[in-house]
């Protein structure tokens, strides 16, 4: 039996990778997700909107930015997190990019 590495249990590979990224980051915005996944912004925005419409993702406004996270009120939130945890084990590259992502502003005057 062949194992499919790039499976998409959530309808498309982009939706699956967006959910996985949100699981790893806890909260993010569309541009950051697109940069991290290496996908066009419009594709990620479409995936996030459909996930929000399906109830898997919740959004809130943070200034002018729309922040997304996995919806804790989703009826199967705990099993969803368990499944994403298993999928994350196989996607080492995405896990590494998540670890390398800078999550706080740089101090003023600090060199790059």
Residue range of the domain that includes 22: 13-90
Question: Which pLDDT score is estimated for 29?
Answer: 94
Which CATH number fits the domain that encloses residue 78? 1.10.10.10
Residue 111 is assigned to a structural domain of this protein: no
CA distance 15 to 9: 9
Closest among 84, 43, 48 to 69, alpha carbons compared: 48
Question: Which pLDDT score is estimated for 44?
Answer: 96
Question: Which pLDDT score is estimated for 9?
Answer: 80
Residue 95 is assigned to a structural domain of this protein: no
Question: Which pLDDT score is estimated for 87?
Answer: 87
Residue 78 is assigned to a structural domain of this protein: yes
Question: Which pLDDT score is estimated for 98?
Answer: 80
Residue 7 is assigned to a structural domain of this protein: no
Question: Which pLDDT score is estimated for 80?
Answer: 94
Contact 49, 110 (CB under 8 A): no
pLDDT in tens, 57-84: 999 998 899 999 999 999 999 999 999 9
Residue 1 is assigned to a structural domain of this protein: no
Query: Residues 41, 46, 47, 53: is their CA dihedral positive or negative?
Result: positive
Residue written as token pair 């922040």: 67
Domain count within the chain? 1
Q: Establish how many alpha carbons lie within 13 A of residue 103's alpha carbon, considering only the half-sphere containing its beta carbon.
A: 10
Residue 106 is assigned to a structural domain of this protein: no
Write out residues in the chain with pLDDT < 70, as ranges.
1-7, 102-107, 110-112
Question: Which pLDDT score is estimated for 31?
Answer: 93
């Amino acid at each position: 039996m062949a194992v499919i590495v790039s499976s998409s249990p959530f309808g498309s590979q982009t939706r699956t990778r967006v959910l996985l990224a949100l699981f790893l980051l806890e909260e993010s915005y569309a541009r950051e997700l697109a940069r991290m996944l290496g996908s066009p912004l419009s594709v990620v925005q479409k995936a996030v909107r459909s996930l929000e419409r399906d109830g898997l993702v919740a959004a809130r406004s943070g200034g002018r930015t729309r922040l997304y996270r996995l919806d804790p009120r989703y009826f199967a939130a705990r099993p969803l997190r368990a499944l994403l945890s298993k999928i994350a084990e196989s996607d080492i590259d995405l896990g590494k990019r998540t670890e390398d992502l800078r999550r706080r502003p740089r101090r003023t005057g600090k060199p790059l």
